Amino acid sequence: MAVVEIIFNPVAGGGAARKARAVAAALGRRGIGARLRATAARGDAEAMAREAARVHEAGGCAALLVAGGDGTLAEAANGLAGAALPMGLVPAGTANVLACELGWPRDPDAIAGLVAAGRSFRAGLGVADGRRFLLMAGIGLDAEVVAGMPPGLKRRLGRLGYALFALHVLARRRPRLHDIEVDGEKLRVAAAIVANARHYGGPYMLAPEAGLDRPGLQLVLLRAPGRLAHLRAAVALGAGRMEALGGAEIRAARHVVLGGDDGAPVQLDGDPGGRAPSRIAWLPDALTLLAP
The number of helices, as runs of H, and strands, as runs of E, in the chain is 9, 18
User: Model's pTM, two decimal places?
Assistant: 0.92
Residues 280 and 136: beta-carbon distance below 8 Å: no
What's residue 1's pLDDT? Answer: 56
Longest dimension (CA), the chain: 58
1 Cβ contact list (under 8 Å, min separation 6): 33
261 Cβ contact list (under 8 Å, min separation 6): 276, 277
Architecture, CATH, for domain 131-283? Sandwich (2.60)
Pick out the chain residues at pLDDT < 70. Answer: 1, 13
Provide the 8-state DSSP code for 96: -
Distance of alpha carbon 168 from alpha carbon 165, whole angstroms: 5
What's residue 280's pLDDT? Answer: 98
Residues 290 and 114: beta-carbon distance below 8 Å: yes
Regarding the domain with residue range 3-118, which homologous superfamily does it belong to in the CATH classification? Answer: Probable inorganic polyphosphate/atp-NAD kinase; domain 1 (3.40.50.10330)
Residue 209 three-state SS:
coil
Distance of alpha carbon 232 from alpha carbon 273, whole angstroms: 26
What's residue 13's pLDDT? Answer: 66
Among candidate residues 93, 19, 87, the one with its CA nearest the CA of residue 50: 87
What's residue 153's pLDDT? Answer: 78
Distance of alpha carbon 118 from alpha carbon 159, whole angstroms: 32
Among candidate residues 206, 240, 205, 270, the one with its CA nearest the CA of residue 75: 270
Domains 3-118 and 131-283 share a fold: no
- Return the domain boundaries, the chain: 3-118, 131-283
What's residue 86's pLDDT? Answer: 97
